[in-house]
Structures are given as structure tokens and as C-alpha cells.
Amino acid sequence: MSRSINRRELCRGIAGLGAAALAGGVARASRDQKSDKEPVVSRGEHMRGNPIAVSTYSFWRFKKGLRLPIETCIEKAARMGFDAVEVLHIQMQKQSNDYLQQLKRTALINGVDLCSLSTHQGFLSPDKNKRQKNIDHTKHCIDIAHKLGIPIIRINTGTWGTSESFNELMKNRGEEDPLPGYTDEDGFSWVIDSIKQCIPAAREAGVILGLENHWGLSRTPEGLLRIVNAIDSPWLRVLLDTGNFLEEPYDKLKRCAPQTVFVQAKTYFGGGLWYTLDLDYDRIARILHEANYRGYISLEFEGNEDYQTALPKSLELLRGAFSRPESDIPKK
């Protein structure tokens, strides 16, 4: 026969369990509150690889006749085996709330995340009205991302616009002279002030602004980090593109990695549209893992090969480098 438990013993047992739970909660809270800006992450805890996404840009690449609908890109990405999709804003055919909810539904049904909204804006202008127009545009994109359940948008500083064309800008390796009568110092002031005005909207929506090492003032690690550090907000971080540091990329990627919250990874099968880089993704994966980066790796295919063959090859390449524990990545 089982021994009955008297009321006093039962109360003591419940009290003991409550105390243990409270102690555990206090300990967890203490760990979690070490920083109100970033989560606490221990080194060497990479027990899984990074999820691999694909940008809808990879299907299009601004090639004539390839501007596929976003929902088609989502379906194709799922069939190819990608974990998530990054949406290129200017590729969207509509922006109504009904359309956005249909995209979210399509992603859910196909089992992929919508992980980023890649936007375009230009704050690098002495024209205050032009800067305000781009601030308003950025806030609009934050709202779109919020409605899609997307946690980050890609933002740019913009360029000076003194190049005759994008092809000329690429020919000059992304370098560009300021407008006559102005300097880069003027530009940093405009860009920093403009992004600051977008921070409250980002905070309210829960959407991080990811400043990319694109062109303009964020072309170098020094310029990129200068802007991020000057604003000093958890709602502005680095969106790191592996293909936009054209010379000696690895040390530059390493400098930016600690503040990176999203990564775009370039591949160039069939030769690059503007240039081709021979990127060592095992080396890049180790740089990011050493910085405790656990987020998405989003493919931006920028080659001339047919996307139907190039994207699966790119996925295999990126999975081989990123979708495994840090201890399994070859040391170079």
C-alpha cells in the first residue's frame, strides 16, 4: 500500500519547487540582462549551421524578361531547397496589404521564411527635400516589412551621383568623387542624420535597419562602421555583402562581422555581370562563426549562367560552407 502524504509535507514540497523555479528564473534573468542591446552568446556554441536564403534578385538580376513575380520566386526557391527568401522591394509588382498577406501565405505554404526586404534609398545629397523623400521611403519600407513579418530591411547610403552610369561606377571599383563644393564629411552628416530619423519607426515596428557595405559612404569598413557607431542603436546594424569589398575582402569582412546581423553572399557562375570574385566561402564561414554570427546567409547570384542551374549550384556551395558546425569547417 502507498503511504499517504500529509498536508504539511505537501506544502513543504510545493514551496521547495517554487523556490527552485524562482532561483532558476533569477539566474536566467541575470544572464539575459547583461546587455539590453544584444543577446548573450557564448563562443563555440555553433551546434547548427546557418540557414540559407535566396534573394529574389538572384532570379532577375535586372535582366530583360526575367523580372519574375515575388510569389513565383518563393515557389521556385522552395522547390530548390532554400530555407528562406529575401525580397527585392523594386521587384514587387504590388504593395497593397492584400498582396503582402498573400505573399506571406505563399511563403508559409511553401515552408520558407521571408527573412529580409532589400530596399534602395539615397541620403547622400545636399538637397534636404530629396533626403526627406528618401527618409519617408525608408519608413514606408519598414511598414511593408512589418506587414510581411520580415525582421530586417537592407538600407544604403546612396551614391554621390557623379558617375555617368552604374557601369562607370563599377569600372571605377565603386569609387566616386563628391559633388562639386561638397566633401565626404558633408555626406556623413546627411546620412547619419537621415538614418537617425528612421530609427523610431524601426523600433516601433521591430524591424532592424541593415546598412550594407554597398557603394557610397559605406563602401569601406571605415565608412560603414563610422555610421553604425555614430548612431549607436540596436535597430541599426551591419548587413554584410561578401562581394562588395572588391580588394582584400577577408580582413574587411572580419572587421565588420561583430556587428553583422544579416549576410548576402555573392556567386558568379557563368562570369559576373560587372566583375567576378573568387571568394573562399570556407574562410568566410569561419570568420562569421568566430564572430558568433548565426543568422541567414542570403544568396545574391550575380552571374550570367541561367538561374535554373546556377541557383542550385550556389545553394550547394553555401550549404557546404555554412550549414555545418564550426568545428567541421576546414581551417586554411
Read off the pTM.
0.84
Task: Give how far Cα 135 sits from Cα of 8, 138, 142, 189, 238, Å.
Answer: 65, 5, 11, 14, 19
Q: Going by C-beta distance under 8 Å and a sequence separation of 6 or more, which residues neighbour residue 45?
A: 292
Contact yes or no for 88/118 (Cβ under 8 A) = yes
What are 145-169's pLDDT values in tens digits? 999 999 999 999 999 988 878 778 8
Contact yes or no for 184/139 (Cβ under 8 A) = no
pLDDT surpassing 90 at residue 218: yes
What are 18-46's pLDDT values in tens digits? 444 434 443 434 333 434 445 544 444 55
Residue 262 corresponds to which cell in the numbers above? 544579416
Contact yes or no for 298/265 (Cβ under 8 A) = yes
Please state which CATH number belongs to domain 48-328. Answer: 3.20.20.150
pLDDT surpassing 90 at residue 300: yes
